Structure 1
Amino acid sequence: MKKILKEIQKHLMSATSYMILFVVPGGVFYELSIMINGKAEMPAQGIAVELNQIGAAGLALFIPVLGGYIAYSIADKAGSGPGFIGAYLAREVGAGFLGGMLAGFLAGYTVKALKKIKLRKEYRTLETIFLYPLVGTLVSGGAILFLFGKPLAVFMNWMTARLNGMSGISKVPLGLLLGAMVGIDMGGPINKVAYTFAQTQVDTLPYLMGGIGAAGAVPPIGIGLATIFFNKKFSEEERNSGKAAILMGCMGVTEGAIPFATVDPVRMIPIYTLGSAVACMVGFLFGVTNHAPWGGLIVLPVVEHRFGYIAAVVIGAMVVAVLTGILKKDYVPEKTTEIEEDIELTFEDF
């Protein structure tokens, strides 16, 4: 079971790395069009209309891309067509990213199974042109249209309505959970699950990226501030790395905090987790929305309620910095034994 879950995770992470190339420009251009329009509605004239079209194209493609590249990761090129088609159908019936993922896995594993069938040499071309794409598409597309599409669409509508209906204090548990997932492994699989969930909802529930975008910046910025405020806790090399970590946090790269967690995981991982959880919760409570499926301070131009977003990052980072100052031990240089004077022996000494 563990091996199967690890394999599924590998395929999902591979597809997510492709999906992000569509969803980031899509979200940014979509939000830019809203900003230029000056109102939280679809623009009707000017360059904002064209920017909105560009953004809408990226957001429309990310579900087919997610499913297509899951299938590609499983079965190589032969799986990509059935994966894209099945995931496109999932989007059309309203099954959302869950339907796209399901279509991708069905297509990929179907084609992978078909590859085990060995035809005579003269029929090999038929495998790649007809057998794999036709059967793979029938399985993935048929499963979405006849079995899973409608139930998943009902679930996605219910989930979106429930999440949209959350306000004030009811967002606290969700913010704490998603923020903790972001901070606990700093760009690892748990972090990616939270990010992917928010990224795939960026066009319908942008407040999720508002909290998670802030949470992702907190570990590197927080530990960087700790190296400045509590420099006795760190070596000179770590203090220099802390400056780089702050920059990485501003760019939304949570992985900048990893070197410090590697040295002291027992203290730093819980501190990062708590700081990110607080940041995400604060972002939710301030009503921050972020249409760019990314984090850090680099996304400020496309963030609504920017003061709340900055406050979430600062509060979370200060939690990390202060707890690090309290809990981390002072740095003690390793003692080295040095020979102060060279001993010279000559024949006269004997």
Structure 2
Amino acid sequence: MKLLAVTACPTGIAHTYMAAEALEVAAEEAGHEIVVETQGSAGSTPFTQAQLDEAEAIILAADVEVRDKERFAHLPTVTSPVKKAIGGAPGLIEQAVAKATAQPKGAAAAAVPAQRDGAEMDTKNFGSGFGSRLRGWLMTGVSYVIPFVAAGGLLIALGFALGGYQITEAPDVVSFGDDGVASVAFDPGAVASWAALFFQVGGLAFGFLVPVLAGFIAYAIADRPALVPGFVGGMIAVQTQAGFLGGLVAGLLAGAVVYGLKLWQPPRALAGIMPVLVLPLIGTAVVGAIMFLVVGTPLAAATTGLTNWLNGLSGTNAILLGALLGLMMAFDMGGPVNKAAYAFAVAGLSTGSETALMIMAAVMAAGMTPPLALALATAVRKNLFTKVEQENGRAAWLLGASFITEGAIPFAAADPLRVIPSLMAGSAVAGSLSMAFGATLRAPHGGIFVVPLIGNPFAYLLAIIAGTLVSAALVVGLKSARRTPAPAAAEQTATAPAAAPVAG
């Protein structure tokens, strides 16, 4: 059969492409043809019309809303989280083949009722349960925020690296006089000028975080008509100093308001302008009023309280927080728990407090440890791992060094009871040691490549090494203690003729 697939994860970095590769391998082994559209952070190459016409079914493996989903209305569809495609791609291929056999192409489109006002009036759907939908909405917002965080954070970190901590006092690169005329204060030959430029551009990028978060959470709930209320609600959260918490509430509020408005059946004369005028206008007015008059101040107080609590952490409390964040980072390696810890750290970056920078460092150290540990384990005890795992282990060196925790997923999927607890222990060690050493990080990503921008870098590397050794030792120890046949023997058995007797 000829199949299609779309893969998409919140960050658009690792899961998206690992799922695509897994589906391609599974389809080839099953004797089918598949074309995968990866809707990742690097953009995507859409299916051609010929591919859409020839396909017999499609797999949508995504944790965020698939773009232009109406293209696939005529195809039998299998939906799943992106992580399932990484660990269970053969099963998804089987489901797609079964659906294509049971439901001829074109029947899917006939079963879908006509849209009331076109694609603009659609409401996003991430699953049957409210928890699944809520997670999908939040992850969509986070996926659009991460490029702003990465670009802004790295530019700010580069500004500090070039200009020192006094860069915060640097004059504006562009200033306006009393007569309103703009003037540029920039010397191309001065490092301080470049530092100020990078710092100020990064700061402007950071200024978009809360509005973008709110806008795209609202978009995930109620599509494009909710974008304007979401962005405006996010800007009000910034003005009222409600921070990321305010952005989350503004996005959910804007999505709910526009979703409720879309349930109203408008007169035919208004139907055409509902998505572009009526819904954004009423939604923005309602969300703006609620954010300013009702929830803005309480959320600002809650954000201030959280910031003060973080700034007050020291000693044992800071170490325990680092351990907890480490456990979360390794628990599902890119899943919702991991993303919750990462989002918590990123949210703190906007405050600029010392403790928030320590938390970001601890989270990155804990996220780098799992793939590095498995890379080390496959290097020192190859006989405990299959040939495929050994190849994955070589790739995991670079993935771990780049802070792509998902590099550990193939190992965890194959042996979760031994691998996941081992990785959690090592990440807890790395996170707690990073906090204990007082390492700081202004960049939200980058791994080993942003170590020059890290406060106390040598101690930070020591924390990562310690966590890596702990996890690797536990993985090797637990796998050595198992009573099942060694992977090599299992592979030989699998490739032996069917009629051959198996010893033991």
CA contact (8 A) 1:33 1:52 kept: yes
Query: Which residue of structure 2 lines up, in the alignment, with residue 348 of structure 1?
Result: none
Using the TM superposition, give the Cα deviation of residue 41 of structure 1 relative to its aligned residue in structure 2, in angstroms.
4.7
4+ residue stretches of structure 1 with deviation over 6 A?
A: none
Query: Which residue of structure 1 lines up, in the alignment, with residue 85 of structure 2?
Result: none
Cα distance in 2 for partners of 1:320, 1:155 equals 37
Greater RCO, CA 8 A, separation 6+: 1
Q: 1:120 aligns with which of 267, 272, 276?
A: 267
Cα distance in 2 for partners of 1:57, 1:68 equals 17
Cα distance in 2 for partners of 1:233, 1:185 equals 22
Cα distance in 2 for partners of 1:98, 1:321 equals 37
Query: Which residue of structure 1 lines up, in the alignment, with residue 366 of structure 2?
Result: 215
Cα distance in 2 for partners of 1:32, 1:292 equals 9
Query: Which residue of structure 1 lines up, in the alignment, with residue 455 of structure 2?
Result: 304
Using the TM superposition, give the Cα deviation of residue 298 of structure 1 relative to its aligned residue in structure 2, in angstroms.
2.4
- Aligned-CA RMSD value: 1.9
Query: Which residue of structure 1 lines up, in the alignment, with residue 245 of structure 2?
Result: 98
Gaps of 5+ in 1: 341-350
Q: What letter corresponds to residue 274 of structure 2 in structure 1?
A: E
Q: What letter corresponds to residue 374 of structure 2 in structure 1?
A: I
Q: How big is each residue's C-alpha offset from its partner over 1:247-266, in whole Å with a ceiling of 9 and x where there is no partner?
A: 10111110000000011011
Using the TM superposition, give the Cα deviation of residue 5 of structure 1 relative to its aligned residue in structure 2, in angstroms.
1.5
SS in 1 for 2:489: coil
Query: Which residue of structure 1 lines up, in the alignment, with residue 401 of structure 2?
Result: 250
Q: 1:173 aligns with which of 320, 325, 341?
A: 320
CA contact (8 A) 1:30 1:55 kept: yes
- Count of residue correspondences: 341
Q: Which has the higher strand share?
A: 2
Return closer, same or farther for 1:29/1:338 CA change in 2, 3 Å cut-off. Answer: same
- Structure 1 length normalisation: TM-score? 0.93
Cα distance in 2 for partners of 1:274, 1:148 equals 40
Cα distance in 2 for partners of 1:194, 1:32 equals 24
Return closer, same or farther for 1:338/1:118 CA change in 2, 3 Å cut-off. Answer: closer
SS in 1 for 2:168: coil
Q: Which has the higher helix share?
A: 1
Alignment of 1:267-278 (within 5 A): 267-278=418-429
Q: How big is each residue's C-alpha offset from its partner over 1:98-131, in whole Å with a ceiling of 9 and x where there is no partner?
A: 1001000110111111111121222123322332
Which is worse superposed, 46-55 or 165-174? 165-174
CA contact (8 A) 1:83 1:108 kept: yes
Q: What letter corresponds to residue 92 of structure 1 in structure 2?
A: Q
Q: Does 1:33 align with 2:189?
A: no
Gaps of 5+ in 2: 1-126, 171-191, 481-485, 500-504
CA contact (8 A) 2:167 2:195 kept: no
Q: Does 1:315 align with 2:466?
A: yes
Return closer, same or farther for 1:89/1:210 CA change in 2, 3 Å cut-off. Answer: same
CA contact (8 A) 2:167 2:199 kept: no
Return closer, same or farther for 1:331/1:115 CA change in 2, 3 Å cut-off. Answer: same
Alignment of 1:36-185 (within 5 A): 36-39=162-165, 41-44=167-170, 45-185=192-332
Query: Which residue of structure 2 lines up, in the alignment, with residue 201 of structure 1?
Result: 348
Query: Which residue of structure 2 lines up, in the alignment, with residue 345 of structure 1?
Result: none
Cα distance in 1 for partners of 2:268, 2:357 equals 53
Sequence identity of aligned pairs in percent?
38
Using the TM superposition, give the Cα deviation of residue 339 of structure 1 relative to its aligned residue in structure 2, in angstroms.
9.6
Q: What letter corresponds to residue 138 of structure 2 in structure 1?
A: L
